[in-house]
Amino acid sequence: MAYRITITSNGQTISAEKKDILADRLQQAGVPLNLYCNRRGLCGKCFVEIVSGPRPDAGEKEKSWLGQKGLSAAHRLACQYEVEGDLVINVPISSLKPDVPILPSIPRSGVVPDPAVKKYYLELPQPEISSPGSSFEGILSGLGEKSLKVSMGALSGLGRILKDSGRKVTVTVHEESEVIAVEPGNTLGQNFGLAVDVGTTTLVMELVDVETGRTLDLEAAFNSQSKRGADVISRLTYALAETKKAAELRGLVLETLNQMARRLFVRNKISPGSVYEVVLSGNTVMGHLLLGIPVDSLATAPYQAVFSRLPSLGAQEVGLAIHPQGKAYLAPNIQSFVGGDISSGILAVQLARRMGHWLYIDLGTNGEIVLKAGEKLIATSTAAGPAFEGMNISCGMPALPGAIYKAEDTGSIETSTIGNSPAQGVCGTGLIDLIAAFLARGEVAPGGAIRNPEKRLPVAPGIVLTQDDVRQMQLACAAIKSGLRLMLKSNGLSIEDLEGIFIAGAFGSYLNVRNSMALGLLPRMDEKRVVFVGNASLAGSRLLLVAQEARREVESLVQRVRYMSLASERQFQDFYIRALEFASWP
């Protein structure tokens, strides 16, 4: 016999059979109930108000939650409530899943927090002397579980913690399969994680409340490996020389990451022991170096990575100073030269879920391009060289205070520097603007030659562009342009077919679209269809930290992406040479 449930909060009326669990019916009806503890009555997050209908007595625990949350005595946990008659209910907003934006710049990017690390507060009964069982079994039964993994570290303090806390403890569970911490008292709300973008040049780290999905603070630092080589290839070469050198690179990046974490913890008055997980997105070489996995196979044909998808590792084993039983998760690699930074980036922009055809471009020393062509996902990488990062340019510098990042021809060449500091050099975006301006003036030929006999273009006091600088940018743009054209062509697409292009990378934020189009770095198209998404790799890390569903998605995503090796495409050399000319396209 069917009962009728009227939901006053949204006006819906649904039906239910006798003994149905209210939470299940609400969820089936599309009500986004917060079922954090997976219906085990452990988290107290799915209270609904029973306005009319059977209202069985609330248990001790339910009553204590009602008090804490200031809810009326008419509220019951939907996950424990069995339907026994017609109902009128009201679902408070506080019982719905929170929704947190991951990348504010693009639409449809919300995520419901469902972190891999969850906390449960338990008040355990005293063991009976005739059959005391074990402390850990007591915790399992408090969690309503039959068997979970546990490490020796998590067990070692257990006896004392139970005793000292009067058996009131907070249990931290990883991936619903392993108890990683038992803490005295109620430490709900103290559940933090770190989302990291492990860039070749820059490391960016966010401190995130994984329960709410909110970023609390951010740190950025140079990757101190840079002193052993500016780009991935020189890092690789350095690591190959000796095992010791690979270990040195590992130590350098770990030291910086741990310093960044420490600063975040101190500034936010958070104990490292309340931080249970780190998610890291980086290119394949960065990932291998970080884990101390030899990079030999990445240096010679067929350029094979040792791993792509990895299960969660112990943070301690990786070398990250968070909770001793904490975990580390690496965004999976797509291919040897399309790494976890790209998989997390396309995850963050939800590339695979969009309608139509899209491009995702990460502009850096390696330019990575992912094309979504209908149902297909194709990735490639192209060696752009370090020009976009201001490297190997006579007056080049990274995008730091004092860098000319913007230039405009208003009769004379007007430049802007980051932080309005005196100009110390030119970063990648400045270089693009400058070359576009000189090209428009005719001082640089479409073929790249500087037309004046000195072959030098003065920019600001002490700063000039040389012929070589222009050549560097020419090579970088050609790499991207030829990659884009070849990818589109071999998938039977033209620019007009694209819904849009995502530009990821710190470089993107200051990029002048019109000038990029003028140089041919980006195709000519409606500017509104070019979406700058900033550090999408970092956003992907945050998403992976906060939502388990995202991990499953990215792991299946990397298996779907087909890799296209530009080098093995016959037409590539032809496309590349033709792309060397500064010219808009198509």
Question: Which positions touch its own copies (CB under 8 A)?
Answer: 126-138, 147, 149-152, 155-160, 162-163, 291-297, 301-311, 313, 317-318, 333, 335-336, 555, 562-565, 568
The residue among 188 and 313 lying less far from its own copies, judged by its C-beta, is: 313
Classify residue 244 as exposed, middle or buried by CB count within 10 Å of its CB (0-12, 13-18, 19+): exposed
In the bound complex, what is the minimum distance in angstroms from residue 537's beta carbon to its own copies?
Answer: 19
In the bound complex, what is the minimum distance in angstroms from residue 34's beta carbon to its own copies?
Answer: 29
Which residue type occupies 289? L
374 Cβ contact partners less than 8 Å away, ≥ 6 residues apart: 356, 357
Both tokens assigned to 514: 């019109």
Could you tell me which of 70, 85, 83, 75 has the C-alpha nearest to residue 9?
Answer: 75
The residue among 123 and 443 lying less far from its own copies, judged by its C-beta, is: 123
In the bound complex, what is the minimum distance in angstroms from residue 565's beta carbon to its own copies?
Answer: 4
In the bound complex, what is the minimum distance in angstroms from residue 290's beta carbon to its own copies?
Answer: 10
The residue among 93 and 301 lying less far from its own copies, judged by its C-beta, is: 301
CA atoms within 13 A on the CB side of 199: 25
The residue to which tokens 């170096």 are assigned: 289
The residue among 2 and 241 lying less far from its own copies, judged by its C-beta, is: 241
In the bound complex, what is the minimum distance in angstroms from residue 158's beta carbon to its own copies?
Answer: 5
DSSP string, 4-31: EEEETTT--EEEEETT-BHHHHHHHTT-
For 462-490, letters b (16+ CB in 10 Å) and e give ebebbbebbebbbbbbbbbbbbbbbbbee
Contact 481, 585 (CB under 8 A): yes
For 259-293, letters b (16+ CB in 10 Å) and e give bbbeebbeeeebebbbbbbbbbbbbbbbbbbbbbb
How many residues in the chain?
Answer: 586
Both tokens assigned to 131: 């059959």
The residue among 65 and 238 lying less far from its own copies, judged by its C-beta, is: 238
DSSP string, 386-455: GGGGTTTSTTB--SSTTEEEEEEESSSEEEEEGGGPPP-EE-HHHHHHHHHHHHHHTSB-TTS-B-STT-
In the bound complex, what is the minimum distance in angstroms from residue 363's beta carbon to its own copies?
Answer: 24
Could you tell me which of 399, 367, 393 has the C-alpha nearest to residue 380?
Answer: 367
The residue among 149 and 267 lying less far from its own copies, judged by its C-beta, is: 149
Both tokens assigned to 504: 């990821």
Could you tell me which of 351, 338, 379 has the C-alpha nearest to residue 500?
Answer: 351
The residue among 314 and 402 lying less far from its own copies, judged by its C-beta, is: 314
In the bound complex, what is the minimum distance in angstroms from residue 373's beta carbon to its own copies?
Answer: 17
Both tokens assigned to 338: 């399309």
In the bound complex, what is the minimum distance in angstroms from residue 284's beta carbon to its own copies?
Answer: 9
The residue among 159 and 189 lying less far from its own copies, judged by its C-beta, is: 159
The residue to which tokens 């090209």 are assigned: 439
| Cα–Cα distance list, 196 to 280, 341, 520 (Å) | 5, 10, 32
Could you tell me which of 329, 254, 250, 334 has the C-alpha nearest to residue 292?
Answer: 250
The residue among 137 and 176 lying less far from its own copies, judged by its C-beta, is: 137
Contact 437, 413 (CB under 8 A): yes
The residue among 120 and 337 lying less far from its own copies, judged by its C-beta, is: 337
The residue among 191 and 482 lying less far from its own copies, judged by its C-beta, is: 482
- Rounded to whole angstroms, the Cα distance separating 155 from 141 reads 16
Cα end-to-end distance, the chain, whole Å? 66
For 531, phi then psi, to 5°, come to -110, 115
Both tokens assigned to 315: 């943070």
The residue among 295 and 434 lying less far from its own copies, judged by its C-beta, is: 295
The residue among 128 and 526 lying less far from its own copies, judged by its C-beta, is: 128
Which residue type occupies 395? C
The residue among 157 and 273 lying less far from its own copies, judged by its C-beta, is: 157
- Rounded to whole angstroms, the Cα distance separating 452 from 470 reads 13
The residue among 313 and 445 lying less far from its own copies, judged by its C-beta, is: 313
